[in-house]
Amino acid sequence: MSQAAVQTQVAEPVLCINNIEVVYDEVIQVLRGVSIDVPKGQIVTLLGPNGAGKSTTLKAISGLLKSEDGEVTRGDIRFMGQRIDRQSPEAIVRDGIFQVMEGRRIVEDMTVIENLKLGAYTRSDNEVAADIEMVFEYFPRLKERTGLAGYLSGGEQQMLAIGRALMARPKMICLDEPSMGLSPLLVKEVFGIIEKINKEQGITMLLVEQNANYALKAADYGYIMESGKIVLDGTREQLLNNEDVKEFYLGGGNEERKSFKNLKSYKRRKRWL
Ligand SMILES: Nc1ncnc2c1ncn2[C@@H]1O[C@H](COP(=O)(O)OP(=O)(O)OP(=O)(O)O)[C@@H](O)[C@H]1O
Ligand SMILES: [Mg+2]
Q: Which tens digit of pLDDT belongs to each residue from 133-173?
A: 999 999 999 999 988 999 999 889 999 999 999 999 999 99
Domain with CATH 3.40.50.300 in the chain: 3-241
pTM of this structure = 0.88
Return the pLDDT at 11: 58
Q: Which ligand is nearest to the CA of 52?
A: 1
Q: What is the largest CA-CA distance in the chain?
A: 58
Query: CA–CA distance from 248 to each of 76, 110, 154, 155 (Å)?
Result: 31, 41, 28, 27
Identify the residue with better confidence: 269 or 217.
217
Q: Which tens digit of pLDDT belongs to each residue from 78-132?
A: 999 999 999 999 999 999 999 999 877 899 999 999 999 999 988 888 899 999 9
Q: Which residues line ligand 1 (CB under 6 A)?
A: 24-25, 28, 30, 48, 50-56, 68, 70, 210
Buried b (16+ CB within 10 A) or exposed e, 55-64: bbbbbbbbbb
Sequence-distant (≥ 6) Cβ neighbours of residue 272 within 8 angstroms: none
Segment holding 206, helix H or strand E: strand 204-209
133-142: long-range contacts (C-beta < 8 A, 24 or more apart)? 134/166, 135/163, 135/166, 135/167, 138/162, 138/163, 138/166, 138/193, 138/196, 138/197, 139/163, 139/193, 142/112
Site to substitute for ligand 1 among 28, 104, 225, most atoms within 8 A of C-beta: 28
Identify the residue with better confidence: 154 or 207.
207
Looking at 3.40.50.300, 3.30.1360.120, 3.90.190.20, 1.10.150.110, the CATH number of the domain 3-241 comes to: 3.40.50.300
Q: Which ligand is nearest to the CA of 175?
A: 2
Q: Which tens digit of pLDDT belongs to each residue from 230-270?
A: 999 999 999 999 988 888 888 754 445 555 554 444 444 43
Return the pLDDT at 231: 95
Return the pLDDT at 259: 56
Residue of the CA atom closest to atom 4 of ligand 1: 24
CB of 162 within 8 A of CB of 194? yes
